[in-house]
Amino acid sequence: MKVWIGHGSEHSARLVMIGTFKDVSTARSTKDVLDEVTDTVEAAVERGDIVVGQPRDRFDEGMYELLSGSGMTAIGPDEIEQFAYDVSVDASGNTITVRTNEIDVSAFLKVFIERGAKVEVFSTHDYPEE
């Protein structure tokens, strides 16, 4: 289940984040890790272990091992619910593009930076995609 967390009914961020990696293999492995974390978080939400809107102050053992084993050590427990939001993550070549109506995307930004990406972030309200 994907959750959209909005702060108003008339406006959404329409945010795009593009990470450009030095090579295709790094982009692919990053996409795989993002998918694995997303699947794990979605399962935790369905079980009730994570409640969106109630930030956590620590990871459970399984999530900690997944994140640290994947080299994603900068993400905090209070950011993990971002992987349950309605977010589209697409990979093409050496780029990964994240699209969402959320403004809270620090977890994705941290993953991109930790894995050596050059990152561009913008709202399609101001910069429509071609």
Q: Tell me: the pLDDT tens digits for 55-100?
A: 889 998 899 999 999 888 899 999 999 999 999 999 999 999 999 9
Tell me the one-letter amino acid at 36: E
Range of lowest pLDDT (28-32, 67-71, 82-86, 126-130): 126-130
Taking alpha carbons only, the member of 48, 37, 45 closest to residue 98 is 37
Q: What is the pLDDT of residue 129?
A: 80
One-letter amino acid of 48: G
pLDDT at 9: 46
The reported pLDDT for the residue numbered 116 is 96
**Letter string b/e over residues 53-91, b meaning 16 or more CB atoms within 10 A of that residue's CB:** eeebeebeeebeebbeebebeebebebbbbbbbebebeb
Mean pLDDT, all residues of the chain: 90
Domain locations in the chain as residue ranges: 15-123
Higher pLDDT among residues 59 and 17, named by residue: 17
Provide the pLDDT confidence category of residue 11 given band limits of 50, 70 and 90: low
C-alpha 117/C-alpha 94 separation (Å) is 9
Measured in degrees and rounded to the nearest 5, phi and psi for residue 5 equal -105, 110
The DSSP annotation for 28-91 comes to HHHHHHHHHHHHHHHHHHHHTSS-TTS--SS--HHHHHHHHHTT--S--GGGGGGGGBSEEEEE
User: Bigger pLDDT: 130 or 2?
Assistant: 130
124, 42 Cβ separation under 8 angstroms = no
Residue 13 has pLDDT above 90, yes or no: no
Does position 118 have pLDDT exceeding 90, yes or no? yes
Would you say 96 and 21 are in contact if contact means Cβ atoms under 8 Å apart?
Answer: yes
